[in-house]
Chains A and B, each alone.
Chain A
């Protein structure tokens, strides 16, 4: 009886557990099978032979029958063994059931905080393996360490094995951290007495794990699977300044150096920028720096780490720490900058805002968050309308008083002013200079320190009005308003009743001045910087994988004051919260200090990756047996000659197919551009045999790679779309290589490039004179003010025999040599392309075809593809513009290859017209009177 129980229960052999060990008994049969197979000769092949007659009188000799080949025997035995072992339902699970099998309930504890997300599948797999191994009739209880609004799992609930597996399958990581103390409380409250505990952990401490682990260990024997924090990364903080943003990345593993890429995304997920960061060996923190122009920065809404999914590696960026773009209306260079009002404003704002300076009209065009006017009496009537419009769309106009404003004002003021200024102190005044009164709680300046040494000596006075009180943000100790503001549309007009400089007050000397300015600026875009007020409603929340979603029913609004101290949790999940004064974000890993759990309670069994896995071998083995049997069948057929022979051609194709299969992992693109048998050739020979593009090698290796990738991309497009089939481009050294073998040479001008050497220039001259085409790309198209960057070229290309250049005229052959295009975009569009002026007398340049192309649109950037034919760089106008860039590239190569051939097409209408006239009037075609075209036409 006991023996039977023993054999029917699962049998464990080392790390392998057999579900039906009785089947293993069939293994005894293997030697028998072996003997029988060996004794039985293989089935004879049937053959016809007419000359068998000759052997009629040949006595059948005593002969040992041909044995089954040993490898066939082995194959069959293997198949039989695999089938038998497979039927025994083996499961590979090093964690296995423990030696003693207590029948009490199993408690599975799962860490489901944000740190678990990167290795969530491993954690789940380990938990499921533990449930799987527990045995069919064992009760399973689940405990999740991250708190949930409605507990997903009650540790007290008893589940069957299947129920537990189903429950585990539906789990998802939370976007907030684990709270193990809470979990322990819940466990203790349930009063569960497990006989064994399996803990699948992400291995990061949350401060309460010591007590938690002790608590678990005290309950029952504890097995712990730690998903080793491979590269557990989190974005833990962010800082921004005027010129960009730095995000701090943290990791757990400190041994190896690690390179990561962080990217900045817009609200709808488009990546705006990518920044590289590397962890040095031994360090757990690094920063990724995004240098972005203010306009782009304002569109960034979150940062993430490339290749990592999880709430921890996503940083939501709210408007609070966003740098503001502030326009300062400049009044020209002051003779004494330290006395200039603007100087103080500038110094106060520089640390946290992007400053734009210019005249008012320009500034309104650039749509800053705020515009500062210092002592401007009346805004010019022509600017009034756009200025008001800008304010009503959410701009903050900040004005400072001064003698001029005191003299005459306009309607763009928060409060009506008295037409004079009030002087405090001084010989003729009654009052002493006044300090600022504490800010009222309703003021946006609430909470700022009130400087007691900043005295106001002069101010403009507001006319008393009913709503003056409401519009006052700050007042002097005697109660007179010193900062007033009034909403206008979605924007705000703020008036400082003193000068921006120290003429009227000491305020500009104090630190509070900067803070006041900053908060005043924040009034722009409808976001009043009053942190302490209002409640914030969850707008978008992060899930555990770092995806933004609509908030669930459990997410609750949050008071503004709570932001500083909030711990994200089920009630307040990480995400964007919308409040009266803009959007605020809660981040999962804000300020997190990542550290692995280092101390485990005594007696804990720690399982590695391999041990926590369970692999059901049944299917694997049975499939293997089946495959072996099929193989054996095939071999038997071939041996007995019954296998239909493949035609010879098919046989010949077989190795080819195999080679193809082996070659398939290589990108097909690479094969397209690769020319066979070039290995043995010199570069010049290879270039002579196969047509290809060339580029001039620069000292900048990165730029060279980029140029090559660009030309590869263009070559690929040419392969695909035209009969031009260039192979992989060559890097050229003009001094050494034979340039004349390349129809088009591309020169990406590196930044701060040294001028080309004289021999190189001479070679390029010869090349162009001989009909070669040179494309020079300064890649400076992103700087709007720079007129082409051609100035820098002139120094670079000293001695280059450059013909007079002109922008490509309309109707030029370049616009129609293959595609009809109207612009020549690269990564930047609407950049002029300069070519040789047509019809220059006395120039030996083939048929008026331009041999020199100069531009700055960074074409290679738009063309560049990586090995998998994916585009490498972003393009201003997206995919449409990239397509247009390719079309330009095709046109360019066609133009270079076919010269003015296509320009004849240009003449067709004129020629047809002439022919018609000729028929009617018998008039000779006057070649000279044909319209002269800019390029290639007769002249």
Chain B
């Protein structure tokens, strides 16, 4: 586990170099309607428009200061500000907190940076952020970011957490090396509540390339069993096939759930990953 402060500052940098989240105005209201993205009158803090007083309005809603300028009565409307909730989850598996070489982050750290950057963007919009299964209520503001980081960093061993009660926007980060069926089983309850979500699949270049040669004993972190390959290069093609198939299955799973799949390699620039994640988030509502 790397230094949390370093992760945080990295995330801040990424967040500051990304444009603010812009949700489509047509985005569905229920799970997440941010202060910036609603663009219609409703409950909120900011002024939206003055409109003529209608009979059905309460008398106390008349804005007297505006109405005093003319003969008509006006009602002051504010922009609808409904906070969305985003819930993050980072795979606690030991193999996820692993890196294949010097000079890059572990996959888990990379996931944390990306999610944290997104969390910062969201909380800036006034959305609530939290960690799935952390037991804390999602919040917003600076403290929410601190808490998000804390909860992301806390090792939650155990099973996949139960779905939240209220609808939320879910970001699930893992390497998704377990079979797609396993994941479907895990995600199905979550997808029930959260109709919109992102699968953030993070891989190390070593896992993509399989650069081993000669006699190699391979071991999955967190598991005792190791496999010896006499000539590792001979199974490279097969491995790459497997890897591709895994990603295709994952994509299918995301489509079935109505979610998005974001793939990211730890060797790539984190900003690119964050941008892809943001784009996936903003794409919601487009079809609705």
Chain A residues in contact with chain B, CB under 8 A? Answer: 41-55, 58, 60-61, 63-66, 639
Contacts and interface: CB of A to CB of B under 8 A. Distances in A.
Contacts of B234: 61, 63
A785 B142 CA distance: 98
A58 B215 contact: no
B220 A45 contact: no
B183 to A, nearest CB: 12
A55 B239 contact: yes
Given A41-B230, A53-B177, A61-B234, A47 B220 contact: no
Interface in B70-121: 93, 95-96, 98, 100, 107
B221 A66 contact: no
Nearest to B207: A51
A543 B239 CA distance: 84
A53 B220 contact: yes
A210 B96 CA distance: 94
Given A44-B228, A66-B215, 20 more contacts: A41-B230, A45-B212, A45-B214, A47-B219, A49-B218, A49-B220, A50-B220, A51-B177, A51-B203, A51-B207, A51-B243, A52-B220, A54-B239, A55-B235, A58-B238, A63-B231, A65-B215, A66-B214, A66-B230, A66-B231
Contact of B221 (A41, A43, A50, A60): A50
B92 to A, nearest CB: 13
B219 A52 contact: yes
Interface residues of B, number: 35
Nearest to A68: B215
A934 B204 CA distance: 80
B177 A50 contact: yes
Interface string B207-235: 10000101111111100001111110011
A129 B96 CA distance: 71
A45 B226 CA distance: 12
B206 interface: yes
B111 to A, nearest CB: 13
Nearest to A63: B230
B175 interface: yes
B163 to A, nearest CB: 25
Contacts of A52: 218-220, 227
B221 A48 contact: yes
Nearest to A41: B215
Contacts of B107: 50
Contacts of B217: 44-47
A48 B229 contact: no
B274 to A, nearest CB: 23
B246 interface: yes
Max count, chain B CB within 10 A of own CB: residue among A46, A51, A52: A51
Contact of B216 (A45, A50, A58, A61): A45
A687 to B, nearest CB: 47
B242 interface: yes
B177 to A, nearest CB: 4
A45 B178 CA distance: 25
Nearest to A51: B207
Q: Name the 10 nearest CB pairs between A and B, nearest first.
A: A50-B95, A65-B230, A51-B207, A44-B215, A53-B177, A44-B217, A52-B220, A66-B215, A54-B242, A63-B230
Given A49-B207, A61-B235, A63-B230, A54 B177 contact: yes
A918 to B, nearest CB: 63
A49 B225 CA distance: 12
Given A49-B207, A51-B203, A58-B242, A44 B227 contact: no
Contacts of B204: 50
Given A53-B178, A54-B177, A54-B243, A48 B230 contact: no
Contacts of A47: 212, 216-219
Contacts of B238: 55, 58
21 contacts: A44-B228, A45-B216, A45-B217, A48-B219, A48-B221, A49-B220, A50-B96, A50-B98, A50-B107, A51-B203, A52-B218, A53-B95, A54-B177, A55-B235, A55-B238, A58-B235, A60-B227, A63-B231, A63-B234, A65-B231, A66-B215
